[in-house]
């Protein structure tokens, strides 16, 4: 998964985007927020629920002090993903010393808002604590460390979360295994082990493999298809595939998305769009925002078309807290709400797709 960046004020982009929204005929400001958010129409979650789906957002602890932000977060969505608070560096900063405070804060908020939680993530090559990355491990040393981390965290949240992204970003673009500390030390079997250990710790949680650039049929998604087929044949507890869907206008839309969702469904696996955003080269223009809206509409329709696509999560809902500008220079405006928490054309396109 991609990490959520700290909040930054980008006033110049916000002003330009507001101008574009007005030009596009999108009502902005308090009146729009009152109409869009406060009971005059169904929320995204309510619209998705009519199709048996959820509609969620990522969030992160620093922005939870932003009351207007948390109001929309609580109103519009029925599934929450912690952007960073459940990752290894946050939850086991010292070996054997666990800290679940950040994840607990988001679980508590979700419970208050009658929302479920997609927990993210147990095994990932990034955002690992220094004690894990600063030394060389043997297989006999690392396996119990990995098992303890997974089972301690999953047990802590047992009964409190809907699903886990158990293993995140396990493959390279060409479909080969990513050379992580886990793969290099334990071999490809670490994935099956991680799923089994998580299932032992919480038999009721849905267990996912999650990655980016697997929306279209291609070498990377083929690798997940082959692995999922093998794991299912072995009786390994795998319940779903998470397609992150970090898209960019300049690279084209994944036109085989629906076909891809269907082939995983044929393996009796759920799918979910787990980290959705659609970035663009700045500045945002009316044309780019319209194209972005089309992509959000098409992704939503693709999920609705496949029964086992269970829901969609945007990677935070507002450009105010998007990770994109901090990781892709000159890019942004990726989410359905702008930096002033005003709905963009993409928001209305999602509503249209949800009907």
* pLDDT category of residue 138 using cuts at 50, 70 and 90: very high
pTM of this structure: 0.90
How far apart, in whole angstroms, are the C-alpha atoms of residue 314 and residue 264?
A: 21
Q: Looking at the predicted structure, is the pLDDT value of residue 22 above 70?
A: no
Q: What is the pLDDT of residues 193-248, one digit of tens each?
A: 999 999 999 999 999 999 999 999 999 999 999 999 999 999 999 999 999 999 99
CA proximity to 311, closest of 276, 347, 348, 268: 276
Q: Domain 11-354 in CATH: superfamily?
A: Glycosidases (3.20.20.80)
Give the active site residue among 63, 76, 153, 275: 275
CB neighbours of residue 158 within 10 Å: 13
Q: Looking at the predicted structure, is the pLDDT value of residue 2 above 70?
A: no
Q: Are 37 and 351 in contact (CB under 8 A)?
A: no
Q: Are 311 and 48 in contact (CB under 8 A)?
A: yes
Q: Residue 40 has what pLDDT?
A: 72
Strand-pair partners of 318: 337
Q: What is the mean pLDDT of residues 157-178?
A: 98
* pLDDT category of residue 109 using cuts at 50, 70 and 90: very high
**Burial of residue 107, with CB atoms counted within 10 A of its CB: 0-12 exposed, 13-18 middle, 19 or more buried:** buried
Pairing state between β 240-243 and 206-211: parallel
Q: Are 132 and 89 in contact (CB under 8 A)?
A: no
Q: What is the pLDDT of residues 44-64, one digit of tens each?
A: 999 999 999 999 999 999 999
How far apart, in whole angstroms, are the C-alpha atoms of residue 280 and residue 334?
A: 7
Alpha-carbon Rg for the chain, nearest whole angstrom, is: 20
Residues with Cβ < 8 Å from 290, sequence gap 6 or more?
A: 24, 345
* 215 is a catalytic site residue: no
Give the active site residue among 36, 63, 153, 169: 169
* 169 is a catalytic site residue: yes
Q: What percent of the chain has pLDDT over 70?
A: 89
Q: Looking at the predicted structure, is the pLDDT value of residue 170 above 60?
A: yes
Q: What is the DSSP code (8-state) at residue 6?
A: P
């Amino acid at each position: 998964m991609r990490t959520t960046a700290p909040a930054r004020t980008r006033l110049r982009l916000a002003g330009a985007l507001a101008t574009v929204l007005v030009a596009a005929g999108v009502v902005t400001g308090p009146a729009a927020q009152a109409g869009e958010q406060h009971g005059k129409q169904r929320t995204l979650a309510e619209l998705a629920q009519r199709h048996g789906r959820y509609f969620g957002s990522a969030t992160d602890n620093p922005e939870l002090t932003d009351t207007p932000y948390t109001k929309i977060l609580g109103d519009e969505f029925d599934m929450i993903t912690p952007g960073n608070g459940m990752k290894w560096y946050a939850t086991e900063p010292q070996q054997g010393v666990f800290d679940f405070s950040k994840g607990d804060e988001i679980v508590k908020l979700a419970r208050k808002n009658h929302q479920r939680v997609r927990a993210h993530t147990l095994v990932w090559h990034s955002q690992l604590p220094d004690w894990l990355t600063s030394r060389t491990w043997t297989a006999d040393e690392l396996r119990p460390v990995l098992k303890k981390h997974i089972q301690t965290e999953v047990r802590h949240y047992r009964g409190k979360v809907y699903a886990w992204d158990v293993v995140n970003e396990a493959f390279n673009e060409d479909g080969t295994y990513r050379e992580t500390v886990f793969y290099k030390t334990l071999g490809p079997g670490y994935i099956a082990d991680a799923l089994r250990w998580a299932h032992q710790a919480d038999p009721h949680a849905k267990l996912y493999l999650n990655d980016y650039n697997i929306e279209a049929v291609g070498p990377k998604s083929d690798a997940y298809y082959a692995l999922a087929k093998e794991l299912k044949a072995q009786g390994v507890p795998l319940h779903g595939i998470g397609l992150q869907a970090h898209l960019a206008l300049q690279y084209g839309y994944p036109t085989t998305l629906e076909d891809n969702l269907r082939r995983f469904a044929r393996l009796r696996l759920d799918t979910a769009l787990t980290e959705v955003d659609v970035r663009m080269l700045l500045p945002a223009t009316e044309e780019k925002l319209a194209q972005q809206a089309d992509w959000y509409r098409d992704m939503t329709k693709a999920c609705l078309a496949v029964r086992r696509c269970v829901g969609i999560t945007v990677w935070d809902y507002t450009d105010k807290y998007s990770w994109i500008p901090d990781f892709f220079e000159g890019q942004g405006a990726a989410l359905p709400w702008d930096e002033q928490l005003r709905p963009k054309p993409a928001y209305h396109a999602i509503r249209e797709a949800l009907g």
